[in-house]
Every structure is written in C-alpha cells, then in structure tokens.
A and B are shown apart, each in its own frame.
Chain A
Amino acid sequence: KAGVTQTPRYLIKTRGQQVTLSCSPISGHRSVSWYQQTPGQGLQFLFEYFSETQRNKGNFPGRFSGRQFSNSRSEMNVSTLELGDSALYLCASSLGTGGNEKLFFGSGTQLSVL
C-alpha cells in the first residue's frame, strides 16, 4: 500500500510569488491535514480537509489556502510569499472517522523563499 506522497520535494521561490503544494493520501483515506514546520515555531496545524470540505482550520492568514478533490488528493496554496513562509510543509492522511485517529505523514515539501 503506497504511503502519503507529497510533491514537489523541494521548492525555491521569491518573495511575492505564489506556490502550490500537492498531497496524495493513502488509498481509502478521506482526511488530509497540512502542517508547517519551522525551527522556531515547531509543527503548526494549517487546516484539514475531509470529503472536499475544510473541516478544521489553524491560525494562519488567508494567504494560506487549500482544497481537496473528489479522489481525496489535496493541494495547498500560499500566495504573496514572505520570507517567513520558508518551512517544511507536511501533509498527513487518515480515514477521517474521528476519535483520535493515527495520522500518516508524507516526507514533506521543503519550501525556501528568497
């Protein structure tokens, strides 16, 4: 069974640009959540999608958005990039039935904003 796949693995962008990251969950998983990891702030929850609907949201500005497709694949978009957006972006998938489910993570996309 294939794991969670994130693409691309690395990205380099400049300030003001926008970026789209992709996440393919484990087959059968309907929930996809996104996290930002930085050395200073650690791992922070961005949002969670279930059945194409955003079900949970963290405390990030509106420049961070996402969506989920009917096949459960998810994309995350960051517009008007800032230097502080440089981070490892991790996505995780789960069945989505709730109740303290185990999350399966991808290897992440390392975003560098210059």
Chain B
Amino acid sequence: AQKITQTQPGMFVQEKEAVTLDCTYDTSDQSYGLFWYKQPSSGEMIFLIYQGSYDEQNATEGRYSLNFQKARKSANLVISASQLGDSAMYFCAMMNRDDKIIFGKGTRLHILP
C-alpha cells in the first residue's frame, strides 16, 4: 500500500539555522513523484519542491533542497538559513501512476527568534 510517513509532529529551530524535515514513503511503483508543501496558518498549501523518482540529482529551489535517497525510500526536506516566516506545517506528498496524491500527517515547524 502507498504510504507517507513523517515522524516529527513538531520541531523547534533557532532562526538562521538549517532544518531537516523527515519523510519516508512506501510504494511498489517504479514511477512516482514526491512533493513538499508548506501550509501557513492561512490554510493555503504552498508548493515548495518536487522530486521525480527517476531524477538522479536532488531537487533544489532557493533555500529548499530535497535529500532524495531512493534505496531508503526517503525524501527529506532541507531548509537552509531558516527564517521566522518559515514557521508553518510542512507536508510531504507522493503522486503515483494513478495520479492520486497522498499526504503525510505533517510536521509543524516553529522558528524561534
């Protein structure tokens, strides 16, 4: 069965430090996509970064990078130089060959001044 696991319900990080949010996934598909979304208190889900299962290089988008370890089925999000505005819920998600997307339970990130 397809599954996304985020083991960190909450994290507290000092401003300007780097932070890693964990995500592991389970799928029997060879072709899939992995996404990270940010959800601030306003409720809107904001796309951060995408990694395809066949991409050989780790995806990067500005301060966000995805540490993709395919053999371990891990897709951790790394945020460099964290900012107060990074405080939000973060969701890891996977889209499979049926074009259905499933989400993890999320990690609430708190950036401390």
Contacts and interface: CB of A to CB of B under 8 A. Distances in A.
A105 interface: yes
Interface in B33-52: 33, 35, 37, 42-47, 50, 52
Interface stretch (B18-26, B62-70, B79-87, B100-108): B100-108
Contacts of B104: 42
Question: Which has the most chain A C-beta neighbours within 10 Å: B32, B35, B44, B45?
Answer: B45
B22 to A, nearest CB: 16
By size class, the interface of chain A is: 20 to 34
Contacts of A98: 99
B101 A45 contact: yes
Contacts of B43: 88, 90, 107-108, 110
Classify chain B: how many residues form its interface, as a range: 20 to 34
B44 A105 contact: yes
B56 interface: no
B100 A45 contact: yes
B90 interface: no
A90 B103 CA distance: 13
Interface of B: 32-33, 35, 37, 42-47, 50, 52, 91, 93, 95, 98-106
Given A42-B105, A45-B101, A102-B50, 4 more contacts: A48-B99, A90-B45, A105-B47, A106-B44
